[in-house]
Each structure stands twice: as C-alpha cells, then as structure tokens.
Amino acid sequence: MEACNCIEPQWPADELLMKYQYISDFFIALAYFSIPLELIYFVKKSAVFPYRWVLVQFGAFIVLCGATHLINLWTFSMHSKTVAIVMTTAKVLTAVVSCATALMLVHIIPDLLSVKTRELFLKNKAAELDREMGLIRTQEETGRHVRMLTHEIRSTLDRHTILKTTLVELGRTLALEECALWMPTRTGLELQLSYTLRQQNPVGYTVPIHLPVINQVFSSNRALKISPNSPVARMRPLAGKHMPGEVVAVRVPLLHLSNFQINDWPELSTKRYALMVLMLPSDSARQWHVHELELVEVVADQVAVALSHAAILEESMRARDLLMEQNIALDLARREAETAIRARNDFLAVMNHEMRTPMHAIIALSSLLQETELTPEQRLMVETILKSSHLLATLINDVLDLSRLEDGSLQLEIATFNLHSVFREVHNLIKPVASVKKLSVSLNLAADLPVQAVGDEKRLMQIVLNVVGNAVKFSKEGSISITAFVAKSESLRDFRSPEFYPVQSDNHFYLRVQVKDSGSGINPQDIPKLFTKFAQTQSLATRNSGGSGLGLAICKRFVNLMEGHIWIESEGPGKGCTAIFIVKLGFAERSNESKLPFVTKVQANHVQTNFPGLKVLVMDDNGVSRSVTKGLLVHLGCDVTTVSSIDEFLHVISQEHEVVFMDVCMPGIDGYELAARIHEKFTKRHERPVLVALTGNIDKMTKENCMRVGMDGVILKPVSVDKMRSVLSELLEHRVLFEAM
C-alpha cells in the first residue's frame, strides 16, 4: 500500500505527457458532466418518450465515467489511500453500470428499430393521405367545374346555344387558347369546322372523317392528346409563336340528329360523333393534367345528354305544332262537314217537300183517275203512272233514310208489335207481285218465334220487304222461301264478323230471317258490292231489273242499328241466292218499354169507303197541292173548305169543321204556332177539330213538334185515294194518327 501512495519522479518528457493527460481528463470529465444535464433537459421536455429510465441509467453511466476521469486527476501526483479507494469504487460502479447498460441496449434496440419502422410507415401513410386529399380536392374542383359547366350548358335547350356555351365555358375554366367543334357533313364523309371559341364566323374547313387521328379519337371514350400539327388542330395561324400548346381531342356523341341541320348536317339514323378539339396557350410550359382531361370527358358526355334532350324537345315541339295544325285542319274540316251536312239536310228538306208536293198531285190524281171508267189501255197507263210514282216515292224515302243514317240523326222507334203480323203482311204484299212472274212464295215461322216483340216494326218490315223484293226481282221462275226463327246461342258463336258481337240475355233474343230464291245467283266476289250505296254488280247491272242500288245499303245500316248482321250466300250464277240477317229484338212480356202514343199503321178491316157530309178544312200555300187534297176529299164525299193563309184560316175555322189538314212546313208560316192558337181558341176538346199535319217532311223533329203543340196526327205526302180513305177512317175512330217515319 505504501508503494501505491508514492509516485516515482518522471522524466521531463514524461512530465509533459502527464500534463496533457491531466488536461484531457479534465475536459473529458467536464464533457461527461455536461451530457447528463442535457439528458435531464431532454427527459423533462419530452412528454412521450417511452424509455426515460434507460436515459436515467445511461446518464448515471456517463456521470460515473466522468467521475472516474475527474478522480483520476488526483492520481497524477502524490495521493492518499482514500483517493485510491474512491478511484477503485468509481471504476467498479462504472463497470457495473456500463455492463448493465450494454445488456439493456441489446433488448431496447429492436424495439427502437420497430418504432422507427412504424414511424416510417406512418410517414408513408401520411404522404399517401396527402396525395389522396389532393386528389379529392382536385375531384371536388373538377366536380364544381362540371356542375358549373353542366348548369350553363343545360340552361337552354337550343342546340346551337348549347354548343357555343360549351366552348365558352371550357375556354374560361381551363384557360384555353382555342376550342373548336367539328361536325359531320350531310354525306358523313367529312368533318366541318362549325364552332370555334375565338372566331365568330368559322370559315367551314373540312377534313376527311377517316383520318387516322380522327379514327383513334372516335374509337375511344377518353380525351386523347393529339399532335398540334394534326389537320383538326390547325385552327388558327401560329405566326410569331415558336411552340404550340398541347392539344387534346374528345368525341361528342350526336344523339337524335333528326332535322338538326346546320351547314348541311345529316339526318343520322345511326350513332355518329362530333369532334371537340382543345388547345392550351402557345409558348407556355403548361401541360394537361389528369383531372383536366377527366373534366373534358365529363363535359363531352354532358353535351351529348343536353343535345339529346334538346332533340327530344324539338321533336315534341314539332309534334305539338303538327298536332295543332292537324287539330286546326280537323276543326276546319269538322266545321266544313257540319256546314255541308246542314246544307245537305236543308237541301234534302227543301227537295223532299218540293218533290213530294208534285208527287202528291201525281199519285192523288192518278188514284182518282183509276176509280173512273177507263178502257183497258187507259187503265194500264194509269197503273203504270201509279207504280212509277210509288217507285219514285220509295226512292225519295230511301235517300232520306240514308241521309239520316249517315249523319246519325235516325233513331229506332222502339215499341211492342206483332212480329208474326209483320211477316204475314210482307207475304201478302209480295204474293201478288210474285204470282205475276209465276213464283211461289212460302212463309215458315218457327214454333218458338214470339208473337209479340219489342223493336222498330217499320224498319224491320222495310228490311224484310226489301230483301224479299230483291228475291222476286231477280228470280224469273221457281220459288222463294221466307224462314224466321230464334237464333240459338250455338249458331251465334259461328259468326266471326268484326261488326257483330252477339250478347245473350234474358230480356232479348236474336231473330234470324232467311230468304232463299231460285234466281240467277251472283258471283261470290261481287257479294260485298251489294251493300255499297249507289253500286250494282256487273251481273245485276246487265239485267233489266231497275233499282237504285240503295236498298241493301240501307238494310245493312238498319240491321247494324238493331245490333245485327246481314249477309248473302251464293254458289255462283244460276244457282240462286240466300239472304240472311239477324237482328236483336226484346221480349214483350219482359220489357219495360211502353208503347208510343200513336198508331203505326192503319187497320184496313174497318175502313169506311165514303164520308158524306164530313166537314174538312185544308190549309196549304201550294195551289196544286191544295186542289189535289180537296179533290181526294171531295171524291170521298167530304165537304171541303180550302185556305192559303193564316188570317184566312183563323177567320174560316169553326166548330163545324171536324178535321183540319194543314201543311206545317210552309215558308213564312209557323204551322206550330197556328196549332197552338187553335188550342187557345177551342179550349174544350169536343169543340176542337182534329188537327192533322199533311206535310212532305216527317222527320223526328217534325213529329215531336207536332205532338208538342197538341196536334192529333201527322201524314206524309204523297197521299192516294186509298190512303186518304184509311186516314179519315182511323181519325174518326181513334182521333189520333201519327204515321211512322
């Protein structure tokens, strides 16, 4: 120990080295002691560092190292044993702490490395989030521009405004030097420069549509960069500019280009494209960004949608204008048709009245002449006159019926009638005519055919009489059979006519009538012509049978009114014909229909032959008609007074007159008002004469007006002696007679 407490004197060189070591130890100790102070400051300021105890331990290691170097300063001179002990203790502690620190670092370094990895990962994620946020901000900016552009584009539905607005808004949003739209020409083989951003009036350059650059753009739905030297990119001169800006092109679908023709644009039935070209400013380093290209693509799609909407609007507006024009034309045609119908009806009414007046004279005088003493030759002449007159009267009735059927004014008179009597009366009327031609006529009524039925008796008789009359007319020999029965539901199902839809019920039945003749027949292909008005087939026209071609046409319309169907069957010329029709009638016992307050026909069984002393007053403005009517009545023994004006009529009429015949359709004279004044003059019914309208117009309105003013009957001109005799007999017996239309 004594040896350790003494230090041998050193050589002068050694003394210099010792001095350097001494100074170095001092600065090392100073540095060691400063480091813990810095670590303490770091630990104090760091709130999240997870290894504070490691720093404390490392700080203790450094302090001990510094203490060791500091104590070592005293070892360069004579020192005591205490210094040696302290030195030894410091070194031991330093060794322990350094070993413990080394061992601890073995476990801490991997953790520190993993923290570093996580830190790097977080930094990468943060950078990625920054990029995504940048994309989101870019997309939001793009979306804002798209919404703005879409709003501007769709603010109008005019196609030209849409396209021009698109170029302007794209140029403003993207700061473009030029933007242009190339449209296909009518031929579809070229693209024409139709719209530009800077030029007010495009010069109309054209380029072939099959250029490679155009095909490349048309084949892609993306915006593509193209060469500034491309034909579609040379929109403006580049004088004085060294470097043109980047150019992109995108296709614009042209949807529904019907009637959208600008600069000879075609009417495209297939999908075609226009070309939109966008150019960045020249002599600039600016390039197209992805979000800008996406903006261009979205705008191109929006333009296509706006153009389609505009096309639909234009189409609807054209359709509306066309519909308005059609409505105006239809309204004009309707008014013209109504005017024509009114003119026709007025003409028919006037002609009906004017034609029936001379017909009245001809038939009346002929019937009077027929009852005088005549030679056989004279009687034949008179009978011929009567037949021709009746044929002409029938033709007049047919024309009026057809007119009312066509304008819808004719309505069925529904009443209860004797169905069997209709067929027997037709049989009695036809049998004498058929006997002249040596034709046998048979009538077969089924046992289940109701005796009473509800329907229009006159129209049904007209149908049957017309069909049977045709059979007699076109048959030279043989027989004619008339069969009537109730059509069964099974047989109704066999009909496939689009005009006939039979519906069975408990309140009505379908009457089927078949008229079969052994006449000359008809070609099957000519059968449809039989139901056309004023038309006759060639085979019928060659016969000397007469007729106007109206009978079957009117019958078909009557049958349709009765919800039925009529047709003709024939195997060909020389094999006869079968005319068949089905009409809908009601059951009399199940119907709630009441009879109309007038008699539809005159019963011939109770007709008086003469009426001696019967006072009759006749008012008619037509002198011939007035004289003819007077002649008929005088021939029947009546005491007749005639007048031609209202004043004369009111002055002459008295209680002595039992019957008054007056024409209610005289020009300038209101016959209905006159009838009302007669009712005022004769308040008591037994004092008032029977008022009968003798007129040439007996439509529904005339009959209703006569009934409204209290007239007792309506008789249609012309009137023969037999008809006048029946009329007077019926009037005196029932005091009412309204002849059916």
Positions at the binding site = 65, 69, 470-473, 517, 533, 548, 552
Residue labelled with tokens 């009601």: 586
Other Cβ atoms closer than 10 A to 520? 19
Please choose, from the candidates 299, 306, 304, the residue with its C-alpha nearest in 3D space to the C-alpha of residue 149: 299
**Binding site for ADP: residue ranges?**
470-473, 517, 533, 548, 552
Q: How far apart are CA 93 and CA 75, in angstroms?
A: 18
Q: How far apart are CA 736 and CA 6, in angstroms?
A: 178
* Amino acid at the residue 510: Y
**Binding site for Cu cation: residue ranges?**
65, 69
The contacts found for 136-145 with CB under 8 angstroms, 24 or more apart, are 138/289, 138/291, 139/291, 141/291, 142/291, 142/292, 142/294, 142/295, 142/298, 145/173, 145/295
551-561 and 457-473 helices cross at what angle (nearest 10)?
150
Other Cβ atoms closer than 10 A to 134? 11
CA 400 to the chain's CA centroid: 38
DSSP category for residue 710:
T
DSSP category for residue 293:
H
Q: How far apart are CA 25 and CA 133, in angstroms?
A: 57
Please choose, from the candidates 673, 666, 678, 670, the residue with its C-alpha nearest in 3D space to the C-alpha of residue 626: 666
Residue labelled with tokens 């919404």: 147
Laid out side by side, the sheet with 190-196 consists of: 206-208, 190-196, 178-184, 272-279, 247-254, 224-226
SS3 548: coil
Residue labelled with tokens 């794209």: 170
End-to-end CA distance of the chain: 168
Please choose, from the candidates 576, 572, 581, the residue with its C-alpha nearest in 3D space to the C-alpha of residue 495: 581
β strands within 559-697, DSSP E: 565-569, 577-587, 615-619, 639-643, 659-662, 690-695
